[in-house]
Every structure is written in structure tokens, then in C-alpha cells.
Structure 1
Amino acid sequence: MRILHTSDWHIGRSFHGHATLDALRGVLGALVDQVRGNEVDAVIVAGDVFDSAAPAAACYAVLTETLGALSSAGAAVIVTSGNHDSAARLGFQSSLLRDGIHVVTDPLATGTPITLDDEHGPVHFYGIPFLEPALVRHLWPDAGLRSQRLTMEHAMGLVRADAARRGGRSVAIAHCFAAGVDATPGVEREIRQGSLDVVPISAFDGPDYVALGHIHGRQRLSDRVRYAGAPLHYSFGEADKPRGSWLVELDADGFAAAEWLDLPVPRRLVTIRGALDDLIADERFAHAADAWVCAQYTDSTPQSDPMRRLQARFPFCATVLHTPEGARGDDGLTYARRVRQARSDAELVDAFLGHVRDGEGASEREAEVIRDVIDERSLVEATA
């Protein structure tokens, strides 16, 4: 049996204020081509189908189109809810979907498989929707579900018990933060508290393959436990992480192989750094002209209207950061203490500039201007 493992579509997510729906539609179309070209039997979407609990109407259209296209390509489709999804909204139309498309959002469905058959017999797919301990502990009051770790261990216990009764091969699908992953800071919304909610890899013992979601970059925790990551780049922190899916093959004995299939990147993500005038004019930055750009300008002082000026050269400049080079280190002084220590008006202005510029006081030219203004004011006051 051939299984395509994908996750974290985040339909409706923006990229620094720019809509991504059309780009995602194109990438998901390429995913359908992967299914068709590799004669995939089952597609797994391991959570975070939508980016929010209340997606716009256009987001539902993208999901409906994609699920229908995957089914028409010949694959069964199994979707689970993630921490970004509203389980109720994602699952409301599940009973109306065509045969072969399964949306798992009910916690009580944990441990009840969707079974598909191939020439070697049955394969049991156990979808585990995202389980928030505070919201599901009443369903299993004797389990003591105080954390994500304990909740996932309980869910996997239900999976193993049912798989042992049924026999045959099995696949588990979950959305969580597993131990040992390399997360992207600021991208994957935390579903952990300290070390309590990191799920150990040992929790996933048993199934022939475990398809995980939540981490946006591909990860191989073991041959049989993997993250597929997101199909689009949603942050500059993900720029070096490939986009794609895992093509997993099960033979008569279980896991046989996994192959990474790349998905197209609609627009590259590039970070450029230098003085603002250099970013605007220097040819060494010409490669970024058609990319999403994160511009870090290193001038000692903030510049006027940097986004507008940069977008004249880089139409897809998405964010601008002022990251000056050579800034003075933190001297441990508060602004109030700097003001108290100032012995002149010039030092008072320098203290203010140092406060708002992360330690960078007046430049030599600025100091000249400040002295001229102060001297002129003193002269006016003396002759008044």
C-alpha cells in the first residue's frame, strides 16, 4: 500500500499580510499530481487543515476542491483536526462527503480505525484528532490527563489495544510536539508547557507508521515516525526547509520504505542584509528581485520610509527590520539614570538618543548639529 503523508495546510493563513490562498491552491494541485503519478492508495492530512477556528468561506472552497481532486485521483483520504482547527467546523460536513474521504475530529473516535485493504490484507488507520487535555479529560476521567504527553500516551494505548485485537498492519495519525524535533521559533503555536507536553517517541511504539503534524519542516524521528511539514513557507524562519510530502510504502510485513517528494515553491524566501542604500542599489542583491524579501538594513539610525524605497526594487519585500551594526552594548543604565548623569543639554540629548537607539548615541555630525542648536538657543535666551 502506498500512502502520501502531508499536514499543516493552514488554509487561510497570510504571509506578512499577503494572502496565500492562490499559492496554496496551486501547491495542493501539485500534491494531487503526486497522488496520481505515484498511484497512491491513501492520503493522510495530519492536522491544521485550516489556520483558524473560523476560516473564511473561500477556505472551505479550497478544502472541498482539494479533497475531491484527491479522491478522483484514486486515493482514500484521511484528515484529522489540529490545534489551529475548530473540530466542529472541520467535521460538520464529514457525513456529507463522498465515500473514501474521512474527516476525524471526534475524540471518542480515537482507537476506532478506518480500514483499507490491499493485496496483503487490511491496514488500519487510527486518526487521533488534536486532544486538548482540559477539554477531553472528562471523556476518560480515570486516565489523569494533565498534559499533552499523558493524553497522547493514553490515546496511543487505545490504538495499540484495538490493533492487537484486530491484527494486521496499522498506521497512527497525530498532531503534537514530539521529543527531538527542530521547531521554527514563532511559527508552530506552542502546545506544550515546559517539558510536560513534549511527547516522547516511545509513545508511538506499535503501529507500522506514525504520520505526525504540527511541525512545519520535515522531520524523521525514526524510519516509522515522521513529520511531513507544511506545503507552503509561512515564515522566513522556514526558508531553508524543503516543502513536500512523504510517500510511504507498506508491504506484507509493515513499513517498507519512505521517499520524500518535493512540492513546488511558488516564490522563494530571501533575507538580505546591508546598508539601506546598498540594498536598494548594489547588484549583489539582484537575485532577490522576484523573491519574498526580508530586508535587514544596518544603518546606525532609522531611515525614512524604508519599506516604500525597498519595494521599488523588491516588489515582494514583505518585512523590513532595522538591525544596526556596531551598536553600543547595554551599559546597564536606565534612561532615568542617564538623564540624571547628564551634565549638559548636549549630554541630555545624547542620553535620549542612546535610549531610543539601543545604546547608539549621537554621531559626530549629529553632535555638531546639537551643539549648534543649543548654542543658538542660549544666544537667543541671553539677548531676550
Structure 2
Amino acid sequence: MRLLHTSDWHLGRSFHGVGTLQAQRIFIDHLEKSVREHEVDVVLIAGDVYDRALPGVDVVGLFDDALDRLTGAGAQVVVSSGNHDSATRLGFGGRILERGGVHLRTRLEDIARPVLFPLDDDGAELAVYGLPYLEPRLVAGALGAEAPTHTSVTRAALERVQSDLAHRRMAGTVRSLVMAHTFASGGITSASERDLSVGGVGAVPLDLFESFDYAALGHLHGQQQLAPNVRYSGSPLPYSFSEANQAKGAWLLDISADGLGEVSAINWPGHRELAVLTGELEDLLVDPRHDWAEHAYCHITLTDADRPAQAMERLRSRFPTTLVLNFEPAGDRQRAAQTYSQRIATATDDVEVCCGFFDHVRSRAANEGERTVITTALEAVRSAQVER
């Protein structure tokens, strides 16, 4: 049996204020093409189908279209809910959808109810268990967990799974796959993921998954292998500039009655490249090494000693889709590292306070002429107060 492990579609998400729905439609095109070309039997979606609990109508329509195209390509689909999803809304109509090959796992009651797929003619089966995102404070009691932590609730949920597996293995050969939306120890994070640490320590031990033939994890947006049988597929699109150098795609895996076979990466081209550029404004505007970034989404950090006027407008004359602009002036790094409050606290008189504000707003110290103007203005104010 051939499966495609995906997760973190985040349908409806924006990228620094730019809508991604068209890019997500292109991803669905690549996904359907991969399913057909590789003759995939089952597509796994390990949580965060949507980016928010109340997705827009057009976003729900895109997911509906995706399910229609995947099942039309001959694949069944197993979906578990993530921390961005509303488990109740995502799970609506689950019993009816199951008849059409779409299996939703969004409820605690279904943790130990696997989706079963035949592996051969001798009765061997693959049991796919889908764990919805487990918020410790909300599910610890229902699961009988020792404490309201991610580790405790995940362990309690997997104990239910192992109990069900033990009974099934008494009757024949059963291979196991678990889907979980969580932060496993050893995973590399990205800036676009929502922190899961509320309610206890965020990371769960990797050895919780070692007894399964395969663990299809979701939540982290970088495609990565934590163990031969434990992997994150990552998100199909980048959702932050911290993912600029990440390959985006899924894991293609084969499972037979003998266990896990080959696992290989499938990568899909991005809708638009991401460029993270640093330097002085004039250099960035003429450097031919950045020609490729003229059609990319850009995150630019300017290192000019003085903040250039109309910096964003000038940058967009060459890099029209610049989305993020930061300033990190070269020079006295120790002074730059101080907060505005810290610098003002050491000011010795009113002139220093005003010059400190000038520095804070303009990202450079006042020059001699500007300092003279500030001093003259303050003296005029003092003189006016004396006359009164």
C-alpha cells in the first residue's frame, strides 16, 4: 500500500498580508498530480487543514474541491484535526464522508478506532489511527492523563491505541500508523507555527512513537525526519520567511505486511520564491547578484548608518513585492542593543533627552547642526518661562 503523508495545509492563510488562496489552488494541482503519477492509495492530512477555526466560504470550497479531486484520482483520505482547526466543524458529516473514502478523526472517542486498509489477500491489515490535536487542559480528565501536559495526554491517548492494536494483533497481522499533531522532541521549528507550550512543556518524547510502523506528524512546517519511522511532512507552502530555504512537499511511503518499506520525499515548486536580503540601500538597488529576487517576496534588512528617506518606495522600484523592511544600522552595536528607555535613563540634561528621542526615531545620533537647533529651541522655551 502506498501512502502520501501531508499536513499543515493552512487553507485561507495569508503571507505577510498577501492572500495565498491562489498559491494553495496550485498546491492542490500538484497534490492531485502526485497522487495520480505515484498511484497513491491513501492521502494523510495530519492536522491544520484550515488556518482558523472559522474558515471563509471560498476556503471551505477549496478543501471540498481537494477532497473531490483526490478521491476521484483513486485515493482515500484520512484527516485529523490540528490546533488551528475547529475539531467539531472539521468533523461535521464524518460518518457520511467515510462512505465516500474520506475518514475524519477529530473526536477523542475515535482515537482508538482505526481506519483499516487491506495489505494482502491473507488478511493482513494496516490500521491508521488519527489523533486530533490534544489541548492538555481540555482533555486530560477525559483521557485519564496523569497531568495536564502534552506528554501526559499524548501518552494516555497512545495507550488507548496500543490497547486496541494488541487485540487486533491476536487475530492476525496488523501494521500500525499513527497521525498526531504535536511538537515532538528534536523537531526544528519555524516562525509561522503557533506555540503549543501553554498547559505544560510543549515537546513530547520521541520514544512515544517508536513502536509504530510509521508516525505521520503535523504542526512543524519544515519537512524533517526525526527517526526512520517518525517524520514531519511540513507545510506544502512557506508561511514565514524563516522557511525560505525549506523544501516543501510530502513523504511518499510504502507499507506491506512485512512492515515499512521505502520512504521518499516529494517536493512541489513554490508559487513564488522568498528572498531574505541584507545590506545598504544603494548596494541592494544595483547589485546584480539580487536579480533573481526582483520577482520574489522579499524580506529586506537595511544596514545604512542613517535611515534612508523613502526606503520602501525605493526598494520596491527594484523589488516590487517587498513585504517586510527592517533597519539594523551598522556601527555601535552596544548602543543599538540598548532600549530607548535605557538610553534616556542615562541622559544628563534636556538636550540629551531630546537627542535621545531623535536617535530613537531616526536610528542615528543628532549631528552638530541638529544638536544646535535642539539646544536653541530649549533655551527659547526656558526664556519664555522666565518672562512669564
TM over 0.5, shorter chain:
yes
Residue aligning to 1:26: 26
Does the Cα contact within 8 Å between 2:182 and 2:219 map onto a contact in 1?
yes
In structure 1, C-alpha distance between the alignment counterparts of 2:269 and 2:344, rounded to whole Å: 54
**What is the aligned counterpart of 1:217 among 222, 231, 239?**
222
Q: Which position in structure 2 is the counterpart of 1:183?
A: 189
* CA 1:175–1:376: 2 relative to 1, 3 Å: closer
CA distance in 2, matches of 1:351, 1:76: 63
Aligned partner letter, 1:138: G
Task: Write the mapping of 1:355-366 to structure 2, written as runs, cut at 5 A.
Answer: 355-356=360-361, 360-362=364-366, 366=367
Q: What is the letter of the counterpart of residue 355 of structure 2?
A: D
Quick one: which amino acid aligns to residue 178 of structure 2? A
Deviation for aligned residue 1:194: 9.1
CA distance in 1, matches of 2:30, 2:255: 23
1:125 aligns with 2:128: yes
Q: State the one-letter code of the partner of 1:170.
A: S
Report the Cα distance in structure 1 between the residues aligned to 2:373 and 2:344, rounded to whole angstroms.
Answer: 25
The one-letter code matched in structure 2 to 1:173 is M
- After superposition, residues 138-217 of structure 1 pair within 5 angstroms as 138-140=141-143, 142-167=144-169, 168-184=174-190, 186-193=191-198, 196-217=201-222
> C-alpha distance in 1, partners of 2:248/2:344?
50
Seen in structure 2, the aligned counterparts of structure 1 residues 249 and 336 have a Cα distance that, compared at 3 Å, is same
CA deviation after TM superposition for structure 1 residue 133, in Å: 1.7
Residue 11 (structure 1) shift: 0.4
8 Å CA contact 1:12–1:56 kept in 2: the answer is yes
State whether structure 2 residue 282 is matched by structure 1 residue 282.
no
Matched AA of 2:146: G
Shift of the 112–277 alpha-carbon distance from structure 1 to 2, 3 Å rule, reads same
In the other structure, the counterpart of 1:334 is 342
User: What is the CA-CA distance between 1:118 and the residue it aligns to?
Assistant: 2.8
Distance 1:373 1:212, change over 3 A: closer
2: CA distance, partners of 1:161 / 1:44: 23
Distance apart, 1:205 and its partner CA: 2.8
> Which ranges of structure 2 fall in alignment gaps of 5 or more residues?
none
Identity, % of aligned pairs? 38
Equivalent in 239, 247, 267 of residue 242 of structure 1: 247
Q: 1:35 to 1:367 in 2, by over 3 A?
A: same
Question: Is the Cα–Cα contact under 8 Å of residues 338 and 351 in structure 1 kept in the other structure?
Answer: no
Does the aligned pair in 1 maintain the 2:149–2:200 contact within 8 Å?
A: no
User: CA offsets per residue over residues 229-250 of structure 1, 9 Å max, x none?
Assistant: 0000000001111001100111
Q: TM-score, normalised to structure 2's length?
A: 0.89
Cα distance change on mapping 1:377 and 1:361 into 2, 3 Å: closer
Alignment of 1:50-129 (within 5 A): 50-97=50-97, 99-119=100-120, 121-129=124-132
Q: 1:113 to 1:375 in 2, by over 3 A?
A: closer
SS of match in other structure, 2:298: strand
Q: CA 1:83/1:349 → structure 2, altered by over 3 Å: closer, same or farther? A: same
SS state at 2:277 partner:
strand
Residues 298-319 of structure 1: per-residue CA shift (max 9 Å, x gap)? 1223333322322222121111
Maintained 8 Å contact 1:335/1:352:
no
- Deviation string, structure 1 residues 2-36 (Cα, Å, up to 9, x no partner): 11000000001100000001101101210111111
3-state SS of paired residue (2:346) = helix
- Shift, 1:92, TM fit: 1.3
Question: RMSD in angstroms over aligned alpha carbons?
Answer: 2.4
Q: Is the 8 A contact 1:81 1:87 kept in 2?
A: yes
Q: 1:272 aligns with which of 272, 277, 281?
A: 277
Instruction: Supply the distance in 2 between the matched residues of 1:6 and 1:38 (Cα, whole angstroms).
Output: 15
| Cα gap change, 1:54 to 1:327, in 2 (>3 Å) | farther
Deviations 1:137-191 (A, max 9, x none): 3323x4334111111111111111111111211111000000011111x321111
Aligned counterpart, 2:371:
370
Displacement after TM superposition at 1:201 (Å): 0.9
